[in-house]
Amino acid sequence: MTFSIAIFTQRIVILGFASLALALSSVAHAARSGETLYNSYCIACHMNGVAGAPKFGNKADWQPRVEKGIDTLLKDATNGFKAMPPKGLCFDCSENELRGAIQYMIDNSSSN
Ligand code: HEC
């Protein structure tokens, strides 16, 4: 009797962990917004132009980049480009998430 209760409790605990793991992994895989990613990763260099990074909000910095087209920018951001590290150090970023982060910086750097 005590034995089967122990097994039962153990199963509940395992089930609890399994659903927790599932919940956590689905959070990790939900696409993050460009703004969220910018604030978590890109901001480290793109806010102040570290190592020559095009500055957030600076149209003159971004204009020549924008002219390359988003696909080229995405490729450069993914593979790394001069002092720009691959994926902007967001190694678990998907292609769409990176594209969103680039678009967010462009959208906020096109009107001054
Ligand atoms: C460690 C610093 C650093 C971080 C972090 C960083 N960047 Fe950059 N990024 C740079 C630098 C430096 C350049 C300019 C490279 C050059 O043209 O010399 C650059 C350039 C770029 C360019 C222009 C590439 C081109 O082809 O002209 C894009 C797009 C870009 N970064 C996107 C991002 C995104 C998106 C993130 C965040 C996910 C990010 N960067 C995070 C340093 C960084």
* Model pTM above 0.75: yes
Summarised one tens digit per residue, pLDDT across range 24-46 is: 555 556 899 999 999 999 999 99
Summarised one tens digit per residue, pLDDT across range 70-86 is: 999 999 999 999 999 99
CB 106 less than 6 A from any atom of ligand 1? no
Task: Tell me the two tokens of residue 100.
Answer: 């969103």
In this structure, the dihedral spanned by the alpha carbons of residues 86, 23, 34 and 47, taken in order and rounded to 10 degrees, is -70
Pick the CATH number of 32-112 from 3.40.630.40, 1.10.760.10, 1.10.3720.10, 3.30.43.10: 1.10.760.10
In this structure, the dihedral spanned by the alpha carbons of residues 104, 60, 78 and 85, taken in order and rounded to 10 degrees, is -110
Using CA atoms, how far apart are residues 79 and 83, in angstroms rounded to an integer?
Answer: 11
80 C-alpha vs ligand 1 centroid, how far in Å? 8
